Structures are given as structure tokens and as C-alpha cells.
């Protein structure tokens, strides 16, 4: 299998059909599979997934959990186990990420990214621009600005920069034969944890084309993973500290600056309700 499309889903009944349509419309010269993990949704998400499986036999592998995989606490870790199981279930040479509430708009997205990765074995990941839309009616905008670098490295991530919409990722399937780093299980920001491990094994390429949509809404985990959440800030600082040790202090100058910024933020008076 060339590509596994990895789809974590939870209570996405309003969105999952659009996500699946965006994947199924992909025009490729290679086979790809759609691998969905539904984390015991309480809405119609599992039924919609089953309908798509019946209409597209052999194209979708779904793990429809009857119990939420957790962990339930702390809330910053919600959905973690479902995602980790799903990443390990992907058998493709490459993995393309798209959460159940996001979707792709370009039918050649996968082919374009695979073309680049096949021709450039020193790259671990490839991402592209997406449109960010808001459920509350806020104005949409692009995720990446015009100055986004075409080539990034792990050092850019260790500077605490986030420049890759998860729905735009296509990466070499490092986790097919490698375990997750020990510190991964302690990191609330699971997408950061995955990206750091991948970037430790190769460069990151940016394609400036807009080929998908990232949806922000009240149920999204990004509202918990917020700079106003002190627990999340503390966890993020711990993650960078652990990553520094995992990388055997090769990026100590960069990481020390990142840790100093977190110390500065955490030294501020705590906001009520955070």
C-alpha cells in the first residue's frame, strides 16, 4: 500500500462525510487506503462511516470503538489512545493525516505530495497550505503566510513554531517499524510529538498550494491546547525538556531559549479560570 489516510474521529457527524468525500475523490496512480478510528462517538458518526464502507468496499478500514479509548483525564490528553492506535494501524509507505472534521479540496493533493516525497528521500514530511474556517462565523484565512519557508527542519519546531496544519501532512511511515519515543506518552500536544519524531529523521517540505480546510469549532481540542491553559503550558515545557534529552542535547541552545520563554509565561499571574 502506498498511502494510508489516517482519520481520527469523534462526534464528527456534521463533518465526516465531507472529509471522506475529499479523500475518496483523490486521483492517484497508486493505491491508497482510508483508516478511520472512531473513539466511541455518541452521535451518528459511526453510522455514517459504516454507510461509506458499504458504498466503497475495500477502500476504508474502520476501528469503531464501543468504548472511548481515553484517557479521560487530564482533558488535555483526550483522544490520545485512539490516535496512537490508529497511527500504528496505518500500513502504507506514507501516511496522510486528516482529522474527521477537516477535509481536502484538491483531488491531486496526495499525488502531488507523493511525487515530491518519492523524488526526495531526505525529506521526512511534506505539508501544504490550507484555509482555516470558523464555526462561529469569523472570517476565514490561510493557515500559512506568504513568508512560510519551503524547507524546514526539526530546529524550526524546537523554536516552538507551528507551521503545519495536521490535515496537510504526508509523511514517511516511520512508526510502521519504530515505537513512539518514551516522552510521547507524557506530551499533551500529540501532533507536536509526532512531528518532532518525524523531523528528527529528515527535512520538511512546504507546498504553497491551498489543498484543504482546517475547521475550528467549539468542540475542537485546540480550544483546550491554549496558551491560557497553564496545565497545557507546563506540559508543553516538560515536552521540550524531554525532547532535548531524547536528542542527546544536540539542540541545547535552541531548546534552552524555548524553555526560557515558557518560564517567562508561567511566571505571570494566573488568570482566573485557567
Single pTM value for the model: 0.92
Helix (H/G/I), strand (E/B), else coil: 230: helix
Looking at residue 77, what is its pLDDT? 62
Distances (CA, A) of 127 to 143, 154, 206, 213: 11, 14, 5, 13
CA dist 242 and 187 (Å) reads: 9
Looking at residue 269, what is its pLDDT? 81
User: For every one of its 274 residues, what pLDDT tens digit does the chain have, with 9 covering 90 and above?
Assistant: 999 999 999 999 999 999 999 999 999 999 999 999 999 999 999 999 999 999 999 999 999 987 877 655 555 566 667 889 999 999 999 999 999 999 999 999 999 999 999 999 999 999 999 999 999 999 999 999 999 999 999 999 999 999 999 999 999 999 999 999 999 988 988 999 999 999 999 999 999 999 999 999 765 544 444 566 788 899 999 999 999 999 999 999 999 999 999 999 999 887 655 4
CA dist 4 and 97 (Å) reads: 9
* Cell output for 226: 491554549
CA dist 165 and 152 (Å) reads: 14
Q: Where are the beta strands (DSSP E) in 105-202?
A: 123-134, 141-142, 151-152, 170-172
Please answer whether residues 137 and 126 qualify as being in contact, where contact means their C-beta atoms are separated by less than 8 angstroms. Answer: no
Grid cell 509565561 in the structure block, residue: 265
Domain ranges within the chain, ordered by starting residue: 3-223, 230-267
pLDDT tens-digit map of 180-225: 999 998 898 899 999 999 999 999 999 999 999 999 976 554 444 4
Cis peptide preceding 74, ω within 30 of 0: yes
CA dist 168 and 104 (Å) reads: 8
Looking at residue 268, what is its pLDDT? 87
CA dist 46 and 40 (Å) reads: 8
Looking at residue 70, what is its pLDDT? 66
Residues 6+ apart with CB under 8 A from 222: 216
pLDDT tens-digit map of 217-226: 765 544 444 5
* CATH class for the region spanning 3-223: alpha beta
Please answer whether residues 62 and 47 qualify as being in contact, where contact means their C-beta atoms are separated by less than 8 angstroms. Answer: no
Please answer whether residues 3 and 33 qualify as being in contact, where contact means their C-beta atoms are separated by less than 8 angstroms. Answer: yes
Please answer whether residues 17 and 100 qualify as being in contact, where contact means their C-beta atoms are separated by less than 8 angstroms. Answer: no
Looking at residue 223, what is its pLDDT? 44
| 149-153 CB contacts, 8 Å cutoff, 24+ apart | 149/206, 150/205, 150/206, 150/208, 151/203, 151/204, 151/205, 151/206, 152/199, 152/203, 152/204, 152/206, 153/199, 153/203, 153/204
Alpha helices in 152-216 (DSSP H): 154-158, 190-199
Amino acid at each position: 500500500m502506498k498511502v494510508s489516510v489516517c482519520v481520527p474521529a469523534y462526534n464528527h457527524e456534521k463533518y465526516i462525510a465531507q472529509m471522506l468525500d475529499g479523500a475518496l475523490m483523490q486521483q492517484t496512480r497508486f493505491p491508497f487506503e482510508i483508516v478511520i478510528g472512531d473513539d466511541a462517538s455518541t452521535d451518528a458518526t459511526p453510522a455514517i462511516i459504516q454507510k461509506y464502507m458499504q458504498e466503497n468496499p475495500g477502500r476504508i478500514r474502520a476501528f469503531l470503538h464501543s468504548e472511548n479509548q481515553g484517557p479521560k483525564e487530564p482533558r488535555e490528553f483526550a483522544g490520545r489512545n485512539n490516535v496512537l492506535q490508529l497511527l500504528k494501524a496505518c500500513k502504507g509507505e506514507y501516511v496522510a493525516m486528516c482529522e474527521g472534521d477537516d477535509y481536502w479540496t484538491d483531488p491531486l493533493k496526495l499525488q502531488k505530495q507523493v511525487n515530491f516525497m518519492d523524488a526526495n528521500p531526505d525529506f521526512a514530511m511534506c505539508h501544504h497550505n490550507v484555509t482555516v474556517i470558523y464555526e462561529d462565523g469569523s472570517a476565514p484565512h490561510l493557515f500559512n503566510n506568504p513568508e512560510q519557508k519551503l524547507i524546514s527542519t526539526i530546529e524550526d519546531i524546537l523554536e516552538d513554531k507551528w507551521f503545519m496544519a495536521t490535515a496537510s501532512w504526508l509523511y514517511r511511515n516511520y512508526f510502521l517499524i519504530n515505537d513512539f519515543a518514551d516522552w510521547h506518552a507524557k506530551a499533551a500536544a500529540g501532533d507536536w510529538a509526532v512531528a518532532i519524531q518525524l523531523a528528527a529523521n529528515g527535512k520538511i517540505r512546504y507546498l504553497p498550494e491551498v489543498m484543504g480546510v482546517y475547521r475550528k469549532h467549539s468542540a475542537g481540542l485546540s480550544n483546550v491546547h491554549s496558551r491560557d491553559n497553564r496545565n497545557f503550558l507546563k506540559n508543553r515545557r516538560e515536552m521540550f525538556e524531554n525532547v532535548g534529552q531524547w536528542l542527546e542535547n544536540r539542540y541545547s541552545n535552541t531548546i534552552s531559549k524555548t524553555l526560557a520563554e515558557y518560564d517567562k509565561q508561567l511566571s505571570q499571574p494566573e488568570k482566573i479560570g485557567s
